[in-house]
Amino acid sequence: MKLTILGGAGVRTPLFVQSIIAISEEFDIDTVCLMDIDTHRLNLIGFVARQLVSRAGNPVALECTDDAREAISGSDFVVSAIRVGGLEGRVTDETVALRYGVIGQETTGPGGICMGMRTIPVMLQYARIMKELCPNAWLINFTNPSGMITQAIKSSGITHRVVGVCDGPSAMFHRVATAIGVDESRAHFDYFGLNHLGWLRGIYADGEEVLQGAIHGLEGEALAAPSGLSGVEEVSVFGPDLVHSLGMIPNEYLYYYYYNREAVEHILRAPQTRGQFLVESTADMLGRLSRAIAEQDGDRALAEYNRYIDTRRRLYMKTETGSSSGSSSASADATCASEQAGADSGYERIALGVIRAIRMNLHEVMVLNTCNLGAIGGIAHDAVVEIPCLVDASGPRPSAVGSVPMGCLGLMQQVKECEMLACEAAVTGSYSAAWKALALHPLVPSASVARGILDDYLKEHGTLLAHIRR
């Protein structure tokens, strides 16, 4: 079986390869192809990946190429982790929005819309290549904004063999289940929403709902000495009083909605944005890798890579929530919400879980991004949502969620409309659709601010958004 990773020069690719190695004896992946248009970076990340494969006794054949057609041809599964515009594009997304006092984040609000509009045309082209060269292959999309990209591909009709993955929900489930003493492998999680906009409403263990009692116990709790559910990262970030009031645990990205003013203030006070930190730290890591590789020092290359990943994890969402000023020393005890979840954490393990379930017809339940198909009342049939799905040889099938709280539904409907408008703008080049996508977003305060942000994006991203025309 051939598995291809688009955006194979991404910094998390070695983690993906490591996960493949871990299951190589029970699963039939024999070829892994890393594809990226940045050949220099691909050589560096490919070297790290080859070190991992070699030290494991070469359980898979590892290929690297900058040719998309070569990479995709003959693939059984294609995982997308591309970043159109690179980390520098992320910085632009962040800083332009912040000029207007609006949240600057790569998947949420204006930044997510902009990233989607420049990424969708590229992803649709890859989907067309897949239709030509491997029409039966599944596309496992991790490219952000994952829900919007998956929506665009589904809506295009090029292929319906696409599913969006995110590690956030499974990470949350692990933390919450551990805190309340539930075996997550035997539990059912009642979760609903869109990608990076979801809520954990209940946990059922042996048919008994066990989350609500724990949430009820948060009433009046302080965080001076967090323990149990109050010590869970999401509860710490949102505060036990808000979680108790909602009767649900929000996905971490909902911080930008529930505490928007605070998030913007925290980012503006920080010495740099998350994107700026990643540009600097990634460049430093790649430079160190280059020097280690020049000396053919595999041990040093792995050490430099692991050091970078550790720092990246420790600083995840700390600036936005005000948990640190952005320095690694200030966040020494912090942990990455989506990368510390245990054995099933990390997008690479989620993606491989989907692949295994489809390939081996396992009937696994996983939270994924796919068409609603009536699962959530009040959401369009063809709207891509993030909910528990049963995954087998036929792909993911959404589980019924039923009605959801009106406040959650209204926010989902509004954000989904913005996503659909962004998809329209990306495909048709409509400036009007792009403007409306920004103007209607709940994190953008006015249509005039939306126009200013859009015009600045078009100017500063240049050719990456040249398809958006007035």
> What is the C-alpha to C-alpha distance for residues 398 and 208, in angstroms, rounded to an integer?
22
Q: Are 418 and 406 in contact (CB under 8 A)?
A: no
C-alpha distances in Å from residue 104, one per residue of 219, 266, 320:
33, 11, 10
Mean pLDDT of 426-447: 98
- Hey, what are 258's tokens? 């529930």
How do strand 197-205 and strand 208-209 relate by DSSP bridges? antiparallel
**Length of the chain in residues, anyone?**
470
- Hey, what are 431's tokens? 């400036």
- Residue 228 is predicted with a pLDDT of 81
The residue extents of the domains of the chain are 168-345
In this structure, of 180-194, 342-356, 412-426, the range with the lowest mean pLDDT score is: 342-356
Which stretches does DSSP call E strand in 195-287? 197-205, 208-209, 249-250
- Residue 334 is predicted with a pLDDT of 29
Q: Catalytic: 253?
A: yes
Mean pLDDT of 81-98: 97
Residue 338 has pLDDT above 70, yes or no: no
Q: What is the pLDDT of residues 243-267, one digit of tens each?
A: 999 999 999 999 999 999 999 999 9
Query: Which amino acid is it at 33?
Result: C
Mean pLDDT of 97-124: 97
Q: Are 118 and 106 in contact (CB under 8 A)?
A: no
- Hey, what are 271's tokens? 């010495």
Mean pLDDT of 52-68: 97
Q: Are 121 and 149 in contact (CB under 8 A)?
A: no
* Annotated catalytic residue within 126, 253, 316, 457: 253
C-alpha distances in Å from residue 325, one per residue of 224, 263, 270, 321:
21, 13, 6, 10
- Supply the pTM of this predicted model: 0.93
